Amino acid sequence: MTLSADLLAILACPEDKGPLYFVESEEMLYNPRLQRTYAVRDDIPVMLIDEATTVDQAEHDRIMGVVEAGAIEPTFAVD
């Protein structure tokens, strides 16, 4: 499963409008500011706030470890 670079370049959190991390190995997009995951199903990001999952601090730390280990870049840079 993969998302196109063009799509990733425009994806933002629907709540805070900030960048996300695409964790391909876990089929999700992650917002570290809100500690919220958005599922990616059949190569389609599910960007509905009601379907997002909020994670606890331990899960946040684990996900950010995956992001750092994989050198995953955010979907876009904040100026």
Tell me the CATH number for domain 5-69: 2.20.25.10
Average pLDDT estimate for 33-51: 96
The answer to whether the Cα torsion of 24, 40, 7, 37 is positive or negative is negative
pLDDT exceeds 90 at position 2: no
pLDDT recorded at residue 1: 59
Per residue in 16-35, pLDDT (tens digit) is 999 999 999 999 999 999 99
Mean pLDDT over each residue of the chain, to the nearest integer: 95
10, 22 contact by CB (below 8 A): no
Task: Locate the domains of the chain by residue range.
Answer: 5-69
Residue type, 15: E
Question: Does 77 or 17 have the greater pLDDT score?
Answer: 17
